[in-house]
Chains A and B, each alone.
Chain A
Amino acid sequence: MANGNAERSIQNKPAIALSNPMSKTLQLKLDYDQLTNCMRCGFCLPACPTFKETGLEQESPRGRIALMKAVADGIMDPDQAFQDQMNHCLGCRACEPACPADVKYGQLIEQARDAIEDHDVHSVPVKGLRKVFFDGVFPHRGRLKWLGRSLSIYQKSGLRKLVRGSGMMQLFPAYMREMEQILPDATAKGVVEQLGTVYPAKGETIARVALFRGCIMDVLFSETNVNTVKLLSEAGFEVVIPTEQVCCGALHAHSGEMERAKDLARTNVQVFKDAEIDYIVSNAGGCGALLVEYDHLLHEDSEYRELAEWFASQVIDVSMLLFEHGRIPAFAERNACANEPVMVTYQDSCHLRNVMKSSNAPRQLMKQVANVNFVEMKEADRCCGSAGIYNVTQPEMAGQILEHKMEHANRTGASYLLTSNPGCLLQMKLGALKHGVSGQMEVKHVVDFLYERISEIK
């Protein structure tokens, strides 16, 4: 305190004319209170995967906040390096639970990306891809189905074989090539087409819950959605699936397409209010994390604010709902030899853990399966590197992180690697393919694993 205010200020402050239009947008969008709340204690550093990989302060949460603040204070231009740094962040939000001052880092990074996005600087292929998916596909259920159908035709018709054989895949970037190999069989038949819109509880009804089916989930993992509904029913929940629901908007929000995300949120809030339910269940950490923050997303919208708060308070992760409120059925692993239990390990979904605060429930459920040994893998709480479209935009860092992740996974000797989010699921499958001991480890969603092990049914 001592040298008085004179020295307690910014020295060597170059006068940056704030003529840069992106500076202005950033100053407008960044929440200066949150920037000030960061006291630079550094407690978030060990939690951050990009800091761990690089050891560089600028790749840490504290560093990124300092960069944002420097731009807001006019000490620094939001140059290309700044923009790249904002995109290097995985958005895994492991820094938030580590922060004593409760800095809302997730909001800051979204604000920064939103501002950068306003000045549109993507390379042509990324731009094209984003446009197609963000505006063209995710928000439209019909088109998603179409995508599912095309993928499914592609996968089933022999076209896939042809394409793979022809070497056509070589033309795609390496990541897309790898992804193509692990993509599950897509289907145009979502959960509603398979089970209808209302599914009764087995036994006495504990509560009426609505399933948030998710767009990627319902096309690529509709089986998981089906299993989620059936598992919930077994545990005593009546499940409804409002058909008017739309994409959660997470990918939009995390990549700076804020207005689009808000539109989607408004639709969902209304649809679920009309459904008259006790809980809104999510089985994808990535979606769920945005759903529980709809209150923040719409806090400036006077018309929807209250509804959004209600919505956010109803959202719950499927494992947590089962574990804390359900009648948990008996699970048993049948592939285990009598004296050798099957080893199972778990990769946290960052958003499930850090935002929805559900890390104990999935583990507890796995531990309840008879003939299964749960082994905790080292750094299971660390991001796997998939983080939305991070894989596509930052292939190098994502690759590094994945390699380390798989070293830890392999060391557990587990036969099953379970997770709770489609992005993580794909990433872990990719990991098992690239760095796994072949045939040793199967990657699955927790829900699928559990449902297949309900003793009475099979």
Chain B
Amino acid sequence: MLDRVLTRKLRQIVGEENFRDDKEALVAHSYDGTPMLQSLPDGVIYPKDTYQVAEIMKNLAFYSVPVVSRGSGSNLCGGTVPVHGGVVMVMHRMNQILEVDLENLTATVQPGIITAEFITHIESLGLFYPPDPSSMRISTIGGNIAECSGGLRGLKYGTTKDYVIGLEAVLASGEIIRTGGKLMKDVAGYDLTKLLVGSEGTLAIITEATLKLVPPPKSKKTMLAMYKDLYGAARTVSRIIEAKIIPATLEFMDNPTIRVVDDFAKLGLPRDMEAILLIEQDGDLEAVERDIERIREICEAESADRVEVAESREHAEKLLTARRSAFTALARLRPTTILEDATVPRSKIADMVLRINEIARKYNVSIATFGHAGDGNLHPTATTDARDHDEVHRVEQAFEEIFEAAIELGGTITGEHGVGLVKAPFLEWKIGKTGIEVMRGIKQAFDPHNLLNPGKMFAKETRKRVVITRG
């Protein structure tokens, strides 16, 4: 329960209907896209501008009430579940494109704008904003920035961090900072812009962002390669890069995923394939055609069983269907779907996939893996049932071992979904004790009273590492 005086003040700041503490609103902001997590906040607030955010923060700080900033609540790490109660701040009303600067090729937006709406607008101006998380039709730019989201175009074009060049943010105290600007170069002090990208709502509330735009590629070609040998697929990925070709998309699906997708979409995929690679290249027509031809040769040299290059846009759409259906197909299999994003150096993909399959067998759970092969960013996806506690426990054990395996192969516990609540106990595995201390120091400097998204990123205690027994 919030203090009565505080709620009155909050209502004064945003207006009666933009602060809610009725049961309905609390329940509807108690969860996000992460399975099996729920916790009720004490209030929900919808600010309309930076000034309101600052005023809200001053008051919350005075009463020491925690705040969880929220875009569309589509994250997969428990990032917006208010585990310590407090106020959920929904950014949807701050959804304006403030400016598109054609001379500097930048766009300045409020954080609540939906990613796909922003992209559509930018493309209508003949420009290009590459970060395209699969959730872009629902996610907000603010959420993308706070999670440093990636997408299918990450390999060639980078992720959100590569496009954020300036920010306005409100600190826990209610003070406003501005970082970066419409600048392609800026070394004035520490790079606070990059620090806020991926900060998961734990350092500041982002209220405005300046994003870099690029000219769009002129053409695009799509192809599909299938392998009976997982290592052949993995070697193909490395060879392509070695040949100094950076494809726009280089996606991967393993055998369990292929089977599920085929059952669902009835595409007639060969079910004995160990891997499918979906490859796209974009750019000037001539260069694209040359690259695709070269990639085809590499696929064949690495003994791909089948290589298919799209002849037309419709054909390309058909090839894309398999990869696009992966998530839907898996989601329909069982009631609960847990999507993770362990990431390894691109050269270790085959090892990682084999380890995942081995671990799934060991714990007798079903895990299918697909993902962004070019980035080494895999999505091992477990399908289970939240009501089966025994199985869920085994899934959790399996994922712990998968994280461990990823780190052992020189990888990380999360490539693009963020740490949030669910991976906080594993953060130390990746960055070590010193890393945690440095990060805690940064948190302290921004938010000394731990009001911004408490409980996230830093766990009460680090998970004991599992001893890996092979086989």
Partner-B contacts on A (CB < 8 A): 1-5, 7-12, 33, 36-37, 39-43, 45-46, 55-58, 60, 63, 66-67, 70, 75-77, 79, 81-82, 85, 100-102
| Bound: A63/B25 CA distance, A | 9
A270-B200 Cα distance, complex, nearest whole Å: 59
Contact of B221 with A by CB under 8 A: no
Known contacts A11-B39, A100-B331: does B33 contact A39 (CB below 8 Å)?
A: yes
Residues of B close to A2: CB separation below 8 A:
396, 399-400, 422-426, 463
Q: Is B342 an interface residue (CB 8 A)?
A: no
Q: Quick one: given A8-B37, A36-B385, A42-B138, are A57 and B32 in contact (CB under 8 Å)? A: no
| List of 10 A-B pairs having minimum Cβ-Cβ separation, nearest first | A1-B396, A11-B39, A58-B28, A100-B328, A63-B28, A57-B28, A101-B331, A8-B36, A12-B40, A36-B335
Query: Among A4, A8, A11, A76, which residue has its beta carbon within 8 angstroms of that of B27?
Result: A76
Contacts of B38 in A (CB 8 A): 9-11
Specify the chain B residue showing the minimal Cβ separation from A55: B92
Let me know if A101 and B337 touch, CB within 8 A: yes
For this complex, 21 residue pairs linking A to B, each with C-beta atoms less than 8 Å apart, are A1-B400, A2-B400, A2-B424, A2-B463, A3-B425, A3-B459, A9-B38, A11-B39, A11-B40, A39-B337, A43-B138, A56-B28, A57-B25, A66-B27, A67-B24, A82-B23, A100-B327, A100-B332, A101-B328, A101-B331, A101-B332
Query: Which B residues, 411 to 460, have Cβ-Cβ distances below 8 Å to chain A?
Result: 421-426, 459
Across-interface contacts of A63 in B (CB, < 8 A): 28
The smallest beta-carbon distance between B14 and chain A, in angstroms, is 14
Which of chain A's residues have a CB closer than 8 A to the CB of B337? 39, 101
* Chain A residue contacts of B27, Cβ below 8 A: 58, 66-67, 70, 75-76
User: Knowing that A33-B335, A57-B73 are A-B contacts, what are 13 other residue pairs whose CB atoms are under 8 Å apart, sorted by A's residue number?
Assistant: A1-B400, A2-B399, A2-B424, A7-B83, A8-B36, A11-B38, A11-B40, A12-B85, A36-B336, A39-B331, A41-B33, A58-B25, A101-B332
Q: Point out the residue from A5, A8, A67, A102 that lies within 8 Å of B28, measured CB to CB.
A: A67
Q: A451: shortest Cβ distance to chain B, in Å? A: 34
Return the CB mask of B96-125 against A: 1 if under 8 Å, else 0: 000000000000000000101000000000
List CB contacts (< 8 Å) of B22-80 with chain A. 22-25, 27-40, 46, 72-74
Q: How far is the CB of B340 from chain A (nearest CB, A)?
A: 8
Q: Is the CB of B424 within 8 A of A12?
A: no
Nearest CB of chain A from residue B456's CB, rounded to whole Å: 12
Q: B329 — nearest CB in chain A belongs to which residue?
A: A100
Q: A8-B36, A11-B38, A66-B28 are known contacts. Are A3 and B422 too (CB-CB below 8 A)?
A: yes
Given contacts A55-B93, A66-B27, contact A12 B39 (CB under 8 A): yes
Give the CA-CA distance A9 to B83 in the complex, in Å: 11
A77 contact set on B, CB distance < 8 A: 23
Whether B137 is near chain A, meaning CB under 8 Å from some CB there, is yes
Query: Which residues does chain A contribute within 8 Å of B30, judged by CB atoms?
Result: 66
The CA of A70 and the CA of B336, in the complex, are separated in Å by 17
Q: Is B409 an interface residue (CB 8 A)?
A: no
Whether A5 lies near B392 (C-beta < 8 A) is yes
Of the candidates B24, B423, B424, B463, which one forms a contact with A82 in the assembled complex, judged by CB atoms under 8 Å apart? B24
CB closest chain-B residue, reference A101 = B331
Contact of B338 among A1, A4, A82 (CB under 8 A): A1
Residues of B within 8 A of A41 (CB): 33, 74, 135, 138, 331
Answer whether residue B266 sits at the interface, using C-beta atoms and an 8 A cutoff. no
Contacts of B387 in A (CB 8 A): 36
Q: How far is the CA of A70 from the CA of B24 in the complex (A)?
A: 10
CA distance A45 to B338 in the complex (A): 20
CB atoms of B421 and A7 under 8 A apart: yes
Report chain A residues within 8 Å CB of B385: 36
Least CB distance from B341 to A in Å reads 13
Q: How far, in Å, is A135 (CB) from chain B's closest CB? A: 32
Given the interface pairs A3-B459, A8-B37, A41-B74, the reply to whether A46 lies near B138 with Cβ below 8 Å is yes
A39 to B93 Cα, complex, angstroms:
25
Are A40 and B332 closer than 8 Å at their CB atoms?
Answer: no
Q: How far is the CB of B40 from chain A (nearest CB, A)?
A: 4
* Interface 1/0 per residue, B135-150 and A, CB below 8 Å: 1011000000000000
**Which residues does chain A contribute within 8 Å of B32, judged by CB atoms?**
40
**Residue numbers in B under 8 Å from A4 (CB-CB):** 396
For the complex formed, measure the closest distance between the CB of A300 and the CB atoms of chain B, giving whole angstroms.
Answer: 21
Please give me the residue from chain B that is nearest to A1 by CB atom.
B396
Interface centre among B32, B40, B337, B387 (most CB of A within 10 A): B40
B422 touching A11 by the CB < 8 A rule?
no
CB closest residue in chain A, given B398: A1
Q: Which residue of B lies closest to A46 (CB)?
A: B137
Q: Counting CB contacts under 8 A, is B393 at the interface?
A: yes
Is the Cβ of B386 less than 8 Å from the Cβ of A43?
A: no
Report the Cα distance A46→B22, complex, angstroms. 24
Residues of B near A9 (CB, < 8 A) are: 36, 38
Q: Nearest chain A CB to B129's CB is how many angstroms away?
A: 18
Q: Whose C-beta in chain A lies nearest to the C-beta of B333?
A: A101
- A87 shortest CB reach to chain B, Å: 13
Cα–Cα, bound, A285→B37 (Å): 39
Interfacial chain B residues near A8, Cβ < 8 Å: 36-37, 392
Q: Which residues of B contact A79 (CB under 8 A)?
A: 23
In the assembled complex, the CB of A343 is this many whole angstroms from the nearest CB of chain B, namely 23
Contact between A42 and B33 (Cβ–Cβ < 8 Å)? yes
Q: Which residue on B lies nearest to A44, using beta carbons?
A: B138
Q: Find chain B residues with CB under 8 A from A75 CB.
A: 27, 40
Q: Is the CB of B92 within 8 A of A39?
A: no
Closest to A37 in B: B335
A280 to B222, CA, bound (A): 43
Name the A residues within 8 Å of B39 (CB-CB): 10-12
Bound CA span A2–B393, Å: 10
Q: Which residues of B contact A58 (CB under 8 A)?
A: 24-25, 27-28
Q: Does B389 contact A (CB under 8 A)?
A: yes
- Interface presence of B89 (CB below 8 A): no
Q: How far is the CA of A41 from the CA of B336 in the complex (A)?
A: 11
B395 within 8 A of A: yes
CA distance A118 to B246 in the complex (A): 62
B23 near A5: Cβ-Cβ < 8 Å: no
Q: Establish whether residues A42 and B73, one from each chain, have CB atoms under 8 Å apart when the complex forms.
A: yes
For window 201-218 of B, CB contacts with A under 8 Å fall at none
Query: How many angstroms from the CA of A107 to the CA of B332 in the assembled complex?
Result: 17
Distance in angstroms between the alpha carbons of A385 and B455 in the assembled complex? 42
Contact B331 A40 (CB under 8 A): no
Complex Cα gap A36–B383 (Å): 13
Chain A residue nearest in CB terms to B386: A36
- From B22, B23, B336, B463, A39 is in contact (CB under 8 Å) with B336
A81 to B46, CA, bound (A): 19
CB distance from A165 to the nearest CB of B (A): 41
Contacts of B114 on A, CB cut-off 8 Å? 46
CA distance A77 to B72 in the complex (A): 25
Inside 8 A of A70's CB, which chain B residues have their CB? 27
Interface core residue of A8, A11, A58, A70 (most chain B CB under 10 Å): A8
Contacts of B73 in A (CB 8 A): 40, 42, 57
A41 and chain B: residue at smallest CB distance: B33
CA distance A42 to B33 in the complex (A): 7
Q: How far is the CB of B76 from the nearest CB of chain A, in Å?
A: 9
- Chain B residues whose CB sits within 8 angstroms of the CB of A45 once the complex forms: 72, 138
Taken together as a complex, chains A and B put the C-alpha atoms of A55 and B39 apart, in Å, by 21
The interface residues of chain B lying within 8 Å CB-to-CB of A46 are 114, 116, 137-138
- Known contacts: A33-B335, A58-B28, A81-B24. The answer to whether A39 contacts B35 by CB under 8 A is yes
